[in-house]
């Protein structure tokens, strides 16, 4: 963690590495005991640049911790039934512990049907309604990777959460909504009072100003400004955007949903973009895969 004017800039990369080292050690012990390593499969359809780079990162990091990693690649023209057949095959394969189908899928494929076809026991992305329901009722479940990564980030940074007012901006199925459930959970890692905001929220600025912990996942570059943040707040930025910047060699820079430079001096802790939440997302997927292998969620 780096300190800037008393603000702690959370080092997502270091936290991710710490968790990966723990997984790697466990996998090494598994292999030493004569068992096969966990196996994670990614299914990708089409050539979307962002999806290809996410899957490449999942594959690389899986191998780093000692997992077996496979990628099933299909062209954009694949028929829904053929994708369903692949999912049925992976559901049946005892050598596959968990798999993900990289989203978004082409428009002719019914995404919800695909998600619901995945065996919940292998649904390491945590997008199947069974896992969503189990999470809701505080039962063992695969938690979606980004919200899970954010709670790990708060815990491993020793940020106090109990009784704090946590404001979550954005209510997507993959980030804001599950995060609001996790942050309000009755346990020592979270236990916040949560306000979940969205595009119809009134008095957004006032609500943000009352946040002890502000978690921003709205998909709008540098939306949260200094005048929306209380002094001493913890600010977690989930957003990720490439914006044009001719002063950079590549012609762009990566920013989040928070105007980092102006907000950082008001915070006690802030997560940067890049180098923040994004680093924890793949690692959480690896944690879920290890849980699937050990049958910790479903016996
Ligand atoms: P999303 O599906 O784009 O949804 C955005 C949410 O923000 C919606 O709930 C929307 O409200 C709300 N919103 C939009 N404009 C708003 C405004 N002006 N005021 C208040 N609320 C507003 O979001 P997402 O998929 O969660 O992604 C959010 C950001 O996180 C994106 O930049 C994405 O790239 C990034 N992301 C990063 C990671 C990572 O690993 N770092 C993972 C996932 C996503 P309504 O519901 O009313 O439309």
Task: Set out the domains of the chain in order of their start, with CATH numbers.
Answer: 34-119 (3.40.50.10860), 144-278 (3.40.50.720)
Angstrom distance (rounded) from CA 66 to CA 50:
25
Distances in whole angstroms, Cα of residue 222 to Cα of each of 20, 191, 205, 288: 30, 28, 14, 31
* Dist. CA 233 → ligand 1 center (Å): 21
- Tell me what the mean pLDDT of segment 25-50 comes to: 97
Catalytic sites, residue numbers: 58, 102, 125
pLDDT for residue 6: 87
**For the CA of 273, the nearest atom of ligand 1:** 41
- Closest listed residue to residue 194, CA positions, set 159, 164, 222, 171: 164
160, pLDDT greater than 60: yes
Q: Kindly state the tokens that stand for 224.
A: 């949260």
pLDDT for residue 142: 98
pTM: 0.96
Q: Say if ligand 1 is within 6 A of residue 217 CB.
A: yes
Question: pLDDT: is 3 or 36 the higher one?
Answer: 36
pLDDT for residue 100: 98
Name the pLDDT band for 1 (thresholds 50, 70, 90): low
Peptide bond before residue 13 is cis, with ω within 30 degrees of 0: no
* Dist. CA 224 → ligand 1 center (Å): 13
4, pLDDT greater than 60: no
Q: Say if ligand 1 is within 6 A of residue 144 CB.
A: no
pLDDT digits (tens, 9 = 90+) for 207-239: 999 999 999 999 999 999 999 999 999 999 999
* Dist. CA 215 → ligand 1 center (Å): 11
- Tell me what the mean pLDDT of segment 114-118 comes to: 98
Helix (H) or strand (E) run with residue 239 in it: none
pLDDT digits (tens, 9 = 90+) for 62-83: 999 999 999 999 999 999 999 9
Q: At how many degrees (to 10) do helices 145-156 and 12-32 cross?
A: 100
| Cβ(3)–Cβ(264) below 8 Å | no
Angstrom distance (rounded) from CA 238 to CA 45:
25
Q: For residues 22, 23, 26 and 30, what is the CA-based torsion angle, rounded to 10 degrees?
A: -170
pLDDT for residue 95: 97
Helix (H) or strand (E) run with residue 224 in it: none
| Cβ(159)–Cβ(176) below 8 Å | no
Distance of CA 204 to the CA centre of its chain: 24
Q: Say if ligand 1 is within 6 A of residue 208 CB.
A: no
C-alpha triplet 199, 269, 2: angle, nearest 5°: 135
* Dist. CA 108 → ligand 1 center (Å): 24
Q: Say if ligand 1 is within 6 A of residue 58 CB.
A: no
């Amino acid at each position: 963690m780096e300190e800037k004017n008393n603000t702690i800039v959370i080092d997502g990369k270091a936290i991710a590495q710490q968790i990966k080292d723990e997984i790697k050690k466990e996998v090494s012990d598994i292999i030493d005991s004569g068992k096969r390593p966990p196996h994670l499969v990614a299914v990708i359809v089409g050539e979307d640049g962002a999806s290809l780079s996410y899957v490449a990162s999942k594959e690389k990091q899986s191998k780093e911790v000692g997992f077996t990693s496979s990628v099933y690649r299909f062209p954009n023209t694949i028929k829904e039934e053929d994708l369903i057949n692949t999912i049925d095959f992976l559901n049946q394969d005892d050598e596959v512990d968990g798999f993900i189908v990289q989203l978004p899928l082409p428009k002719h494929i019914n995404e919800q049907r695909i998600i619901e076809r995945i065996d919940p026991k292998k649904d390491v992305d945590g997008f199947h309604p069974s896992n969503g329901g189990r999470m809701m009722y505080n039962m063992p479940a695969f938690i979606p990777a980004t919200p899970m990564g954010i709670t790990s980030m708060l815990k491993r940074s020793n940020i106090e959460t109990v009784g704090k007012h946590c404001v979550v901006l954005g209510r997507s199925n993959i980030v804001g909504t599950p995060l609001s459930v996790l942050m309000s959970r009755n346990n020592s890692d979270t236990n916040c009072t949560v306000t979940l905001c969205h595009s119809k929220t009134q008095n957004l600025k006032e609500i943000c100003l009352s946040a002890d912990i502000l978690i921003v996942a709205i998909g709008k570059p540098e939306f949260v400004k200094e005048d929306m943040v209380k002094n001493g707040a913890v600010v977690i930025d989930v957003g990720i955007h490439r914006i044009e910047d001719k002063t950079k060699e590549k012609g762009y820079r990566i920013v989040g949903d928070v105007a980092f430079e102006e907000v950082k001096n008001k915070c006690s802790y802030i997560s940067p973009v890049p180098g923040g939440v994004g680093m924890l997302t793949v690692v959480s997927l690896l944690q879920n895969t290890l849980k699937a292998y050990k049958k910790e969620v479903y016996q």
